Every structure is written in structure tokens, then in C-alpha cells.
């Protein structure tokens, strides 16, 4: 099934000038980019996006990191897109991520791990709607 998934190039990715390299891997893997923008999250918006993790020991650090610099949210679409994107990025902790994955190749820690990817088609839709209005998603170009 064709699925939509939200990616975010996290502040470490943008700050380290890796956005182009990571985007190239995403394009090469066959994802269509329906939407792309640059945003600076705040404690409020970053905490809202990761609300499911509120109360976890890493939550405050995660929100501080995600609001520490510019992010690039991407609305992506592909056959089997959610699982394929998770495969492309690798496990949360780069030490556990498979060779050749984005996190294994670029991430420095479990917290600063370069890129976000939705974990289900339902969350893909919800997370895309967090950053993009329907008219910002461009199908045919
Ligand atoms: P995911 O991004 O691979 O889906 P989640 O468990 O949903 O991983 O966690 C969201 C984000 O929170 C991670 O990408 C990472 O930035 C951060 N995070 C998760 N677990 C830890 C941890 O144990 N220590 C530090 N940061 C963590
Ligand atoms: Mg997750």
C-alpha cells in the first residue's frame, strides 16, 4: 500500500550540514517528497510533537534538543513507506543501527540521531498534519 510518513531532519543534521546528504539518500530510496519546509520548534511545539514520550527520563533532553536549532520536516510518500523509511534510517540508537543506515552512518548518540520517522501509517498521517496543511502537500510535480 502507498503510505505517507513524516521525516524530520533534526537540528544535529541541519547544524552539521548533513541535510543534503540525508535528503539524497531519501530520494535515492524512492520516496516522493510531497512537502518540505524549515522550522524552528519551541519547547511547546517540540513537546507537543513528542507528547507520547512525556514523563520518560529522556523527554526534557529530547525537547531541548529538538528546539535547539532548525529542523526540516518532510512529508514523504512511497509504497510501504512507513516501514521502508524506518529501515532506511535504522534503529533509534546508532550503535544498534544496521550498517549503511542513515543513523548508523551519521548519528552521534541515541538522543542526537539525525532523523525522525513515523512508526505507523496512522501516526504518519497525524504527524504530517502537525507540520503541513493539506494544500502544502503537492502530489503531481
Ligand atoms: P524513534 O525516533 O526511533 O522512533 P522513539 O523511541 O520514538 O525513537 O524516541 C523518540 C526520540 O527520542 C528518539 O529518536 C531519540 O531522539 C530520543 N530518545 C529515545 N530514547 C532515548 C534514550 O533512551 N535516550 C536519549 N534519547 C532517546
Ligand atoms: Mg518514534
Q: Is residue 140 pLDDT above 90, yes or no?
A: no
Confidence category of residue 52, pLDDT binned at 50, 70, 90 = very high
Q: How many angstroms does the Cα of residue 63 sit away from the middle of ligand 1?
A: 11
58: Cβ below 6 Å to ligand 1?
yes
Q: Is 53 labeled as catalytic in the residue annotation? A: no
Q: Is residue 27 pLDDT above 70, yes or no?
A: yes
Please state, in angstroms and as integers, the Cα–Cα distance from residue 54 to each residue in 49, 51, 59, 117, 136, following that order: 10, 5, 6, 18, 29
Which of the residues 4, 10, 78, 116 is marked catalytic? Answer: 116
Q: Is residue 30 pLDDT above 70, yes or no?
A: yes
Q: Is residue 141 pLDDT above 90, yes or no?
A: no
How confident is the model over 29-47, as a mean pLDDT? 98
Confidence category of residue 39, pLDDT binned at 50, 70, 90 = very high
Q: Which ligand is nearest to the CA of 127?
A: 2
Query: Domains of the chain (ranges plus CATH)?
Result: 2-136 (3.30.70.141)
Closest CA to 9 of 116, 120, 127: 116
How confident is the model over 93-99, as a mean pLDDT? 98
pTM of the model: 0.98
Mean pLDDT of the chain, nearest integer: 98
CA–CA separation, 1 vs 78, rounded Å? 8
The residue to mutate among 11, 46, 61, 62, having the most atoms of ligand 1 within 8 angstroms of its beta carbon, is 62
Q: Is residue 90 pLDDT above 90, yes or no?
A: yes
Q: Which ligand is nearest to the CA of 92?
A: 1
Residue 69 DSSP symbol = S
How confident is the model over 84-113, as a mean pLDDT? 98
Amino acid at each position: 500500500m502507498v503510505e505517507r510518513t513524516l521525516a524530520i531532519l533534526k537540528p544535529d543534521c541541519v547544524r552539521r550540514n548533513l541535510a543534503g546528504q540525508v535528503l539524497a539518500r531519501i530520494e535515492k530510496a524512492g520516496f516522493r517528497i510531497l512537502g518540505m519546509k524549515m522550522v524552528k520548534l519551541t519547547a511547546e511545539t517540540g513537546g507537543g510533537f513528542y507528547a507520547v514520550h512525556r514523563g520518560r527520563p529522556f523527554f526534557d533532553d529530547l525537547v531541548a534538543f529538538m528546539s535547539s536549532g532548525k529542523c526540516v520536516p518532510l512529508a514523504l510518500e512511497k509504497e510501504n513507506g512507513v516501514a521502508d523509511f524506518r529501515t532506511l534510517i535504522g534503529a533509534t540508537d546508532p550503535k544498534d543501527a544496521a550498517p549503511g543506515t542513515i543513523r548508523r552512518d551519521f548519528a552521534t548518540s541515541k538522543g542526537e540521531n539525525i532523523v525522525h520517522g513515523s512508526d505507523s501509517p496512522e501516526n504518519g498521517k497525524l504527524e504530517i498534519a502537525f507540520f503541513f496543511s493539506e494544500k502544502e502537500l503537492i502530489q503531481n510535480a
